[in-house]
Structure 1
């Protein structure tokens, strides 16, 4: 009985230590007049240290939330392990379903580009020991979050030195998606509600990642794009890749076995964090 009590006590201590490394924050958005939650994963044992760390914003997909990467990754404690390995702070924001992280010209409740770039990042920098410099800040995400990461980085090069996409919606035009016509029609209707009538054909709307390739070229942000060959969004990724090749934008592009699954994203995130860390290492001489 004493052994059982001791085991339970040790487990509780370990759980509390783990929880202490991850904070849940709630940030009020003036742009949308509402509060949104995010998770902040810190390297172990940094409390009391006079040190600042690089930061990476890791975005979720449609139907998701700020805890997606914590609950659904197929490897337990994946974010904490990466934060510890690379000594960086990982932030997982939550946004509304199917918002694609853009600012709607029609709906005040959908202003997520502004929220991430002008409200969340300043809040995190003010309340956590981050390096307040684009050379030590990056953004990546899965599916809808991949679109958000590429779009926000393209529009805000002053904030990021690297951006990535895993199975990203690189073109919100549902005609470029494979299969599931009912879902596609639902997405098209929600886009019209939030954006109105936009240009889906070349040269594309600035509300979609493929419409921002000129900004991507000008910004000199390190880009990593990957997608599974069985993913229903593979053609949108190939389209962006081709456009970046045509305008001579340096980027890393990978296709590998896999579909639109958490198994794929769990395997992909460590490669994204490795890529981002390499960018951070190169940037150290440029930090203020």
Structure 2
């Protein structure tokens, strides 16, 4: 595998930003890792999103993601998206436009990445789980599968109420979503579920997992039940676990095994 850290100027954001990228490359076996005989691309791609307190380097620093994808022939793009909830912020930068439009275009200009829907996936943890499902539900023609680990999936109703007493979080939500909040908009995942089932065209495959001791567990149950009621395809998994890296390091392996990669 090749690990690359990039800094580049985003015209959408109007600033210099960064991303961490893992690229497949043919390699003999190494101590503790299998070899790889991948071709030169274009590669299927997983956009892997970070949580609220993290950045583009966090998946590399706190999991063994590079080792887990070493023989999959899969590129992994980990962008820096700050405390944006992957949204065109009411008071801030246009991170939704960046991650959904500019980032894939820039990545494909830098690296040999596939632009086929069936080769593009998105996943994330916590805030990134929210971003992953928002990308898949709003851009089903672009992403064939999405995974959320401990995702903040019900921010429009429960999460906002739960954190209302925290002035820092309340201020953040106003900067991101405005004073009216995300309920009923295309930043509300439950609204997007309702819209997805009534739209023609492809539907993304969804994978959702959450630890039963996670403070977001009840919000995950609400999202799961909404998908079940709508008939939207969802693979759901729950097990003991908290909102921590021990859980996410284990579950990213399950996500990789679930991804509909062409392994021929």
TM-score normalised over the length of structure 2: 0.87
Q: Which of 140-149 and 172-181 deviates more?
A: 172-181
Change (3 A) 1:127 1:242: same
Q: Is 2:174 aligned against 1:192?
A: yes
* Structure 1 position 208 matched with structure 2 position 188: yes
Deviation of 1:123 after TM superposition, in Å, equals 1.0
**What's the counterpart of residue 44 of structure 2?**
54
> Which one has a larger percent helix, Structure 1 or Structure 2?
1
Using the TM superposition, give the Cα deviation of residue 174 of structure 1 relative to its aligned residue in structure 2, in angstroms: 6.9
After superposition, the C-alpha distances for 1:244-280 in whole angstroms (9 at most, x for unaligned) are 111111111111110000000000001111111xx23
Q: Which residue of structure 1 aligns with residue 217 of structure 2?
A: 234
Counterpart of 2:32 in structure 1 is none
CA RMSD of aligned residues (A): 2.4
Structure 1 runs of 4+ aligned residues shifted over 6 Å read 177-181
The range that moved more, 210-219 or 49-58, is: 210-219
Larger CA Rg, structure 1 vs 2? 1
Change in Cα spacing, 1:43 to 1:206, as seen in structure 2 (3 Å) is: same
Which stretches in structure 1 are left out of the alignment for 5+ residues?
1-17
Aligned counterpart, 1:100: 85
Aligned residue number for residue 31 of structure 2: none
Question: Are residue 87 (structure 1) and residue 87 (structure 2) matched?
Answer: no
Match of 1:35 in 2: 16
CA distance in 2, matches of 1:26, 1:159: 24
Shift of 1:135: 0.8
**Equivalents in 1 of 2:234, 2:38: separation in Å?**
38
Indicate how the Cα distance of structure 1 residues 264 and 176 shifts in structure 2: closer, same or farther if over 3 A, else same: same
Q: How does 1:1-288 map to 2 (within 5 A)?
A: 21-45=2-26, 50-73=40-63, 78-97=64-83, 99-104=84-89, 106-107=90-91, 109-173=92-156, 175-176=158-159, 182-183=165-166, 185-198=167-180, 204-217=184-197, 218=199, 219-276=202-259, 279-281=260-262
Specify whether residues 230 and 31 from structure 1 end up closer, same or farther in structure 2 by C-alpha distance, changes over 3 A only.
Answer: same
Say how many residue pairs are matched: 252
| Partners of 1:174 and 1:187 within 8 A in 2 | no
